[in-house]
Structure 1
Amino acid sequence: MSELYSKYSEKPWSETFQLVRRCMDKTRADTKPCETIKKCMQKLQEALNVTSVNAMVTRLEMIAKQRGLGSHRSPTETACYLTADLFYLEVLLLPGGGVEDVKVAQHGEAPESNVSLLQLLRMKRFEEFSVKLDDLASLYNVPGDSDTKIKVYTSLQHLQKDLLKISNLPRRLIESNVHVDMVLNGRIGSVMSCREGNPMSIQYYISPSDVLMEMLCPGESSRGQVAMVVVGASGTTHRLQMESLIPTPPQVDSVGLPVFRPLSEASSELLPAFFLLKLQPPLPTLNSFIHKMSQITEGVVNVTPETGLQGEPIFQLIKQAGLEEKNYKMSGDGKDAHFLKTLPDTELQSYVFGDAEWKCDSWKGALIHTVPFTHPAHVPALLELLRHQSVINILLASCISSHEHQPGIACDLNCEILPESDCSFSVAFSLLDSDSLAVLMVSVVDCRQVQCRLLTGGLVDHSLDDYASRVLTRCLSIPITMRAIRKRMASMRPPACLISEPASVLKAESSPSTTPHHAVDSVPATIPTALLSPEPMEEDGLPSPPGHYVMSVAAAPAVDVNTDAVANPSPCASVGVYSHWVASSLPAELI
């Protein structure tokens, strides 16, 4: 190395770079590339400024090799092509290394300009360009020859057409905001068809805080839960459609979904692939939900998450996903998790997750990145489960912060979150001006129904259950709901209804200290008025007399509603955490 250094110390970088490139292009007896030379080559290319056509072409060729694609220049040397079996990219070059246009041509289709790829190359953000190119290649990530890949791509196109047909079936509008209504109440959410080389995507859920952020900063960034529709390789063959399975005109069943034609040998083929819902971001999912997905797809779902099927406590997975810490590890030390939440007027709330209680099997899960399926009829049912799981995650995430307990900080409210039955948990908290405890039972019936019941040892006021359900459904935030309940109870007379015996033991009296990080906690939450219409809720076996009410996203206002409950009748009523955002629009009882 010292001899090489002395030999080339006086030579320019460009000459050294060309020499290394010529060595890389030479045929070797050993076809396995030298990893050390490849890394050196990559570092050299990244160190050089792209100020010429040759430099741009060299950088594109390196990216193509990294992604397993071919590359070549046009005869006129004014374009560079990155090629695969079923698509290619045409990069039109300008003198000085600039890029005039980037076109994507998929199998059997005319080239189409891709604005996002063009902007990345013009700004010389090559790493992001490489990631986008990998997403495009994932559309055809199946083994086999070109004929097999063409058949898989054809099947994917027919699936996409059927999903668009399902999405476009006429239905009653529930929300005043058309986009929010499509995401929350559409049969498969809001569908964005394949364009500019990007796969079809489905926005299947959006939280109240995301709705508000979209109103305050429209188009700033994509929000909510999204699933891309792609294909994946399979060790076994599956029968996939080779034509549309929805007749024209479509026939609708009793639940509003189309009636599909059966798969036959004429309308399908056995292929070594299946379809995938690629979740962005990955979703912490309960093992019971994973089992339900397997039943929907008739055993196709074979989840192999990083954490394994034995599962981890769901709140640990939610914290990991929310913080997006690559080096984050489950504590596994047997200690309870303490979190501190900050609300307006410097109010502090403490939340405790018991380690032993949350290790129960019914509340263990895994971080899911993809969901395999083979038939368009699977998609609506799968997305309903993903929506249901999203609501559970948002509620629990509202109690989780980025840092855990630090002693010496006094809190206005101490709460303990305990798992109950499937999709139900309890919040034990201290009452105002009392050493007694109360328990708020929260049951997530589905993605559109959140039921609340307040358990105390004194007189029962059913309007508090209805009121808590209204607030929680509107904001999907436990801290906001707890603040509203305590203020509502403090304003009620007589105060003798406070309980003297706790319904659950509060484990931690010390207070955590941290700053809230989750979006639900850092912005006000808003949902249109249709979400606030009360309707009688069904009994689920919790210890409370009948006559409670639940907020339903999907249903119209029901008959015989409880008109005594306090609700904000104005559209987009805000329930907030940080009052400096929209303090003037907060209901008085929630500030």
Structure 2
Amino acid sequence: MESKSERGPASMKTKTLMSDLKSKYADKSWNETIQLVRRCMEKTKGDGRVCEPITKCLEKINEALNVSSLAAMVSRLEMIAKQKGLGSHLSPTETVCYLTADMFYIEVVLLPGGRVEDVRAAHHGEAPVSSPSLLQLLRMKKFQEFSLKLDDLVSFYNIQGESDVKVKVYTALRHLETDLFKISHLPRSLRESDLHIDLIMNGRIGNVQPGRDGSPMTIEYYISPLDVLTGLSGTGEVSGGRVALVTVGSSDVSHRLQMQSLISSPPQVDSFGFPVFQPLTESCSELLPATFLLKLQPPLPMLNSFIEKMGKITDGVMSEKHLQVEPLPQLLLKTNKKQNSKISWTDWVQFVVPLPASEYHSYVFPGAEWGRESCKGALIHTVPFDHPGHVPALLDVLRHQAAINVLLASCFSNHNQLKDAGLQYDLRCEVLPESDHYLSVTFSLDDGNHLAVLQVTVVDSNQVSCRLLMPDFVDHKLDDFISRVLMRCMSIPITMRAIRRKVSSLTTHPLPAADPELTTAMESTSTPHSGESVPEIISAVYPSASVSHEAIEEERMASSPGYYVMSVASPVADNVNTDAVANPSPCASLGVYSHWVTSGLPAELL
């Protein structure tokens, strides 16, 4: 009772003050109110928490206002600078707003009415360069996206130490980018008919795009068939793959980083086509409290065993310490934007996956099996390293994990309300882990009296091997057919649908394992089921992909029998340099981590 009486007068006083403020400024414009709040914020000293309510209030006011004047644009830019810890000021002529940091600055050239004429970015010691992307964002008044771009600039210098240390780290990053470009342009053999897809999936450094407008270099390193179809349906261009930004980060331990390019121009290669690196000596490198980083977008759920592989590649720079581990399917559920957030990981999780022709599959993930330590992993946001030669091998591990994730996530669905609807499943499957890159799918045959097992081995991102175990039946041609189907669609439900139809036909018309007609049918089949293409099936299973009829026809005409966008073997495109065929991961000959060759890793990663 006493506390209530104490709070009562204070509450009444606050209401009175607010009423007085409202009446005092009722006739004032929003611009005048904003300027008053800003002046009050600038005069506030001491505990910064005092300004938090005012800051939030000012942000909401700015976001609600339409930026239609010079003063409003300046106010918005100053607010963004303050949020990012940057300084800001106007030129004497009040036509240029500067957003400043110790190591870079942004010039925003303004016009009357709050319009933007140009945006220029300048790193330390470099002349300002016009930034079309930043200019476009401000002209379209996409201030949130503009703010995120500033984060990229800040990340270049988010290093402990004085300005000279930050300059050296930035210099090292520029030389790293030069070497990554040299590696990406080394001649190699082609595996895919689509050159862009081949570059992403098989390029030593993936699809590399230089840093522009103050943004980091980007590497697109993996894309699934669904990503390809989704991108084609929307813009006519492939998009939606997994990307890594090449940047830097602070480190508690100093690392020797290059201060010049380590690959000669033109690059020298050994007899295996591997790049020859200059040794990291004191004359061409320095010890700095930083590492290079591959910043993964989106973050990638990874098994502990794969994280350990990356640690061996980087000689301990990449560490699994202090990572929060969870079962891999649980991590995939949390990071899947299209997945129902209400689904929780329990003793077992069941998904109902609808397919074309009103076919429904049930996929069960036993929690006890997937909860074993060997099946746990962590969500990886950044991969630290300190040598350009690490990147190809790191990307191979990332691609391998991404392929496993795509296969597991293909069994997820938001149609769980169908579980309680008395639905008769066409196929009931149980997905079990056998090792870090090997899983099995157990299902019942159409007669309901026998079980069959599909064993799936993800050798790497470009090779998936399948084996079907059925009672009293063995046919390696059927295994080869299933492997091709799975590689083409990277979807377990679509593959299980093809198996079910094939097994059904064999049950109705049994054939000897070595029957020539069956062999011919297996070798000539290029889609999971006669009359249906992979794009059509994927479109039916994933309506959100919205694959247009034109896109399907283009894919059908572009793909000859035997391969799709993720083909195992594709014809070589004309006029492409395929000399000096080399391992796509030129890492085994690097002295910086030659011990990796004998560390017991799988041969496919060497």
Q: TM-score, with normalisation over the residues of structure 2?
A: 0.80
Aligned to 1:528: none
Q: Decide which of 361, 381, 385 is 1:369's aligned counterpart.
A: 381
Equivalent residue runs for 1:375-454 within 5 Å: 375-404=387-416, 406-407=419-420, 408-454=422-468
Structure 1 residue 77 and structure 2 residue 94: aligned? yes
Aligned to 2:76: 59
Q: Is residue 190–residue 203 contact of structure 1 (8 Å, CA) maintained in 2?
A: yes
Q: Decide which of 302, 312, 316 is 2:319's aligned counterpart.
A: 302
**Matched position secondary structure for 1:357:** helix
Determine the C-alpha separation between the residues in 2 that align with 1:386 and 1:275.
16
Equivalent residue runs for 1:37-52 within 5 Å: 37-52=54-69
Q: Is residue 344–residue 578 contact of structure 1 (8 Å, CA) maintained in 2?
A: no
Kindly provide the amino acid, as one letter, of the partner of residue 577 in structure 1: I
Higher normalized helix content (fraction of residues): 2
Q: Decide which of 540, 552, 565 is 2:522's aligned counterpart.
A: 565
**Structure 1 residues 333, 318: CA separation in 2 closer, same or farther (over 3 Å shift)?**
closer
Determine the C-alpha separation between the residues in 2 that align with 1:214 and 1:31.
46
Aligned to 2:344: 331
Name the stretch that deviates more: 466-475 or 428-437: 428-437
Aligned to 2:505: 491
* CA deviation profile, 1:480-530 (whole Å, cap 9, x unmatched): 1111111112222666699xxxxxxxxxxxxxxxxxxxxxxxxxxxxxxxx
Name the stretch that deviates more: 63-72 or 431-440: 431-440
Determine the C-alpha separation between the residues in 2 that align with 1:569 and 1:24.
68
Per-residue deviation, 1:331: 2.9
Equivalent residue runs for 1:536-547 within 5 Å: none
**Structure 1 residues 255, 340: CA separation in 2 closer, same or farther (over 3 Å shift)?**
farther
Aligned to 1:557: none
Kindly provide the amino acid, as one letter, of the partner of residue 410 in structure 1: Q
**Structure 1 residues 339, 32: CA separation in 2 closer, same or farther (over 3 Å shift)?**
closer
Q: Is residue 425–residue 442 contact of structure 1 (8 Å, CA) maintained in 2?
A: yes
**Matched position secondary structure for 2:538:** coil
* CA deviation profile, 1:551-585 (whole Å, cap 9, x unmatched): xxxxxxxxxxx877334569x96352335855875
Q: Decide which of 131, 142, 157 is 2:159's aligned counterpart.
A: 142
Aligned to 2:128: 111
Determine the C-alpha separation between the residues in 1 that align with 2:50 and 2:126.
35
Q: Decide which of 205, 221, 240 is 1:223's aligned counterpart.
A: 240
Equivalent residue runs for 1:353-364 within 5 Å: 353-364=365-376
Q: Is residue 459–residue 497 contact of structure 1 (8 Å, CA) maintained in 2?
A: no
Equivalent residue runs for 1:74-473 within 5 Å: 74-218=91-235, 222-253=239-270, 255-303=272-320, 308-309=323-324, 311-323=325-337, 328=341, 331-334=344-347, 336-404=348-416, 406-407=419-420, 408-473=422-487
**Matched position secondary structure for 2:370:** helix
**Higher relative contact order, structure no. (Cα contacts within 8 Å, ≥ 6 residues apart):** 2
Determine the C-alpha separation between the residues in 2 that align with 1:232 and 1:200.
15
Determine the C-alpha separation between the residues in 2 that align with 1:402 and 1:230.
36
**Matched position secondary structure for 1:173:** coil
**Matched position secondary structure for 2:126:** coil
Per-residue deviation, 1:135: 2.0
Give the share of equivalent positions with the same residue, in percent. 58
**Matched position secondary structure for 2:62:** helix
Aligned to 1:578: 539
- Unpaired runs of at least 5, structure 1: 499-544, 548-561
* CA deviation profile, 1:297-345 (whole Å, cap 9, x unmatched): 111113467xx34x211111112111367x94883543x1010111111
**Structure 1 residues 324, 460: CA separation in 2 closer, same or farther (over 3 Å shift)?**
closer
**Matched position secondary structure for 1:44:** helix
* CA deviation profile, 1:123-177 (whole Å, cap 9, x unmatched): 2221221112112211221122211111000000000000000001111223221
Determine the C-alpha separation between the residues in 2 that align with 1:223 and 1:15.
45
Per-residue deviation, 1:269: 0.8
Aligned to 1:13: 30
Per-residue deviation, 1:23: 1.7
Determine the C-alpha separation between the residues in 1 that align with 2:237 and 2:196.
16
Per-residue deviation, 1:454: 0.4
Determine the C-alpha separation between the residues in 2 that align with 1:54 and 1:581.
46
**Structure 1 residues 81, 208: CA separation in 2 closer, same or farther (over 3 Å shift)?**
same
Kindly provide the amino acid, as one letter, of the partner of residue 453 in structure 2: V
Determine the C-alpha separation between the residues in 2 that align with 1:213 and 1:568.
25
Determine the C-alpha separation between the residues in 2 that align with 1:568 and 1:212.
21
Per-residue deviation, 1:266: 1.1
Kindly provide the amino acid, as one letter, of the partner of residue 565 in structure 1: M
**Structure 1 residues 4, 368: CA separation in 2 closer, same or farther (over 3 Å shift)?**
same
Name the stretch that deviates more: 254-263 or 377-386: 254-263
Per-residue deviation, 1:467: 0.7
**Matched position secondary structure for 1:356:** helix
Kindly provide the amino acid, as one letter, of the partner of residue 578 in structure 1: S
**Structure 1 residues 497, 161: CA separation in 2 closer, same or farther (over 3 Å shift)?**
same
**Structure 1 residues 324, 478: CA separation in 2 closer, same or farther (over 3 Å shift)?**
closer
**Matched position secondary structure for 1:488:** helix
Q: Is residue 242–residue 297 contact of structure 2 (8 Å, CA) maintained in 1?
A: yes
Per-residue deviation, 1:463: 1.2
Determine the C-alpha separation between the residues in 1 that align with 2:49 and 2:87.
17
Over the residues paired in the alignment, what is the CA RMSD in angstroms? 2.8
**Structure 1 residues 268, 424: CA separation in 2 closer, same or farther (over 3 Å shift)?**
same
Q: TM-score, with normalisation over the residues of structure 1?
A: 0.82
**Matched position secondary structure for 1:345:** coil
- Unpaired runs of at least 5, structure 2: 1-16, 541-546, 563-606
**Matched position secondary structure for 2:523:** coil
Per-residue deviation, 1:462: 1.7
Name the stretch that deviates more: 203-212 or 5-14: 5-14
* CA deviation profile, 1:258-307 (whole Å, cap 9, x unmatched): 121111111111111111100111111001000111111111113467xx
Q: Is residue 99–residue 107 contact of structure 2 (8 Å, CA) maintained in 1?
A: yes
**Matched position secondary structure for 1:96:** helix
Per-residue deviation, 1:210: 2.0
Determine the C-alpha separation between the residues in 1 that align with 2:336 and 2:303.
16
Kindly provide the amino acid, as one letter, of the partner of residue 534 in structure 2: S
Determine the C-alpha separation between the residues in 1 that align with 2:229 and 2:28.
59
Per-residue deviation, 1:116: 2.3
